[in-house]
Every structure is written in C-alpha cells, then in structure tokens.
A and B are shown apart, each in its own frame.
Chain A
C-alpha cells in the first residue's frame, strides 16, 4: 500500500518567517503534486513535479522532488497570512490517473 506522510502535521508561525513542509514515502511515484485547501473549499493544485531532483518555484514557494522520486518538500519564504491553509501532497503512478494523497500539513501564519 502506498502511503505519503507529511510533516509537520501542524505549523503556526509569524508573518515573515520561512518554513518547510515535507512529504515522504517508501514508494516511488512518477509525479508528485502539491495542493492548498482553504476551509469550505476543495484543494487547488499548486504544482506538479515529474523528474527526480526537479525544483519548481511559484513566487515565494519552492517545490522540490527528491532524486529517488520518493519524497518532496515545499519551502515558503517570508510567509504571509494569505498562505494559511491545509497543504496536501499527492503522488501519482505511471500510466494512471490515480493519485494518493498525503496526510496534510495545516499551516497558520499569524499577522
């Protein structure tokens, strides 16, 4: 069974601080996605990474896919209250539409 563990589970920080969220598995994934979900809404896709070692940047967010394609990280620079939400990673297998979602990291950025 493929599992994706995220850490930390909860994170509360002050505006302007940096943070990193981790997504780990013992399984290899063909692709890895990161989503942000706000209360009362569905998750919204932030990025998809497909190559081991790949790094993608989205404004203040930096996403990295591990060399072995078993793990990923999300780094936020100078966090803002608007970054508050539930961050979810999701791993996809080759030749399939199915994604396995991680356990989630709930981030709260205080003004």
Chain B
C-alpha cells in the first residue's frame, strides 16, 4: 500500500512570500503530525492532529505558521511571510496507533 506522501518535494521561495506544504497520510490513519528538521538535526514538533482537530499546536513557532486537516485525511501546513530561518525540511507523519509513526519523505523549503 501507499505510504505517506508529501508535496512538493522541494520548494524555493523568496522571503516574504507564502508557501503551502501538503501531506497525504496513509489511508485510515487518524493521527497526523508535522515536524521541522534543520540541516540533519533532530525533529522539532510543530503540530498534531487527531482526525480534523489539532489538540496540540504547541510547537508552531509563530503566528505565521498554521495548519489544517480536512476529511480526516490531507493536511496542509501554511507559512505566511516566509523568513530565511524557516528554511528546513518539513516532515509529516501519520499513525493509527500510539506507538508507530510513518513518515513521509519531507519537503525541503529554501527561503532566499
């Protein structure tokens, strides 16, 4: 079966522009996560969805970051007025149980 997919795989944008990153989780997975990874470092938690609700948004770095999930499936992470420090790999993961997350390949965002 299909794994978690993310699009685009690479995104280059200019400072100040808005970007949308998409995540297609594994079908039937109720939980969905967004993480940020800077230059091969550990993962920084951004937000977690259970169904369409986001009970934990504590990791979003600023109000320029937002995320939504529709139909208990696809999720979009939006970054407004991008800054150079937003450059990173953005990873999405989905899960059907508490102890197993399946990660997508990530979107590499470069803000010039």
A→B interface (CB under 8 Å):
4, 6, 31, 33, 40-45, 48, 50, 86, 88, 90, 92, 96-104, 106
Contact = CB atoms under 8 A, between A and B. Distances in A.
User: What is the predominant secondary structure among interface residues of chain B facing chain A?
Assistant: strand
B99 A42 contact: no
Contact of A42 (B31, B50, B56, B104): B104
Interface of B: 4, 31, 33, 35, 40-45, 48, 50, 56, 91, 93, 95, 98-106
B41 A40 contact: no
B48 A42 contact: no
Given A41-B105, A86-B40, 11 more contacts: A33-B99, A43-B43, A43-B91, A45-B100, A50-B99, A98-B45, A98-B48, A100-B45, A101-B45, A103-B42, A104-B40
A97 B93 contact: no
17 contacts: A4-B42, A6-B42, A31-B99, A40-B105, A42-B91, A42-B104, A44-B103, A45-B102, A48-B99, A50-B99, A86-B40, A92-B99, A99-B101, A103-B41, A103-B42, A104-B40, A104-B42
Contact of A106 (B40, B45, B56): B40
Nearest to B3: A42
A88 B100 CA distance: 14
A101 B103 contact: no
A87 to B, nearest CB: 10
A96, A100, A101: residue with the most chain B Cβ atoms closer than 10 Å:
A101
Contacts of B105: 40-42
A103 B106 CA distance: 18
A102 B43 CA distance: 7
A41 B105 CA distance: 4
A31 B99 CA distance: 8
A20 to B, nearest CB: 19
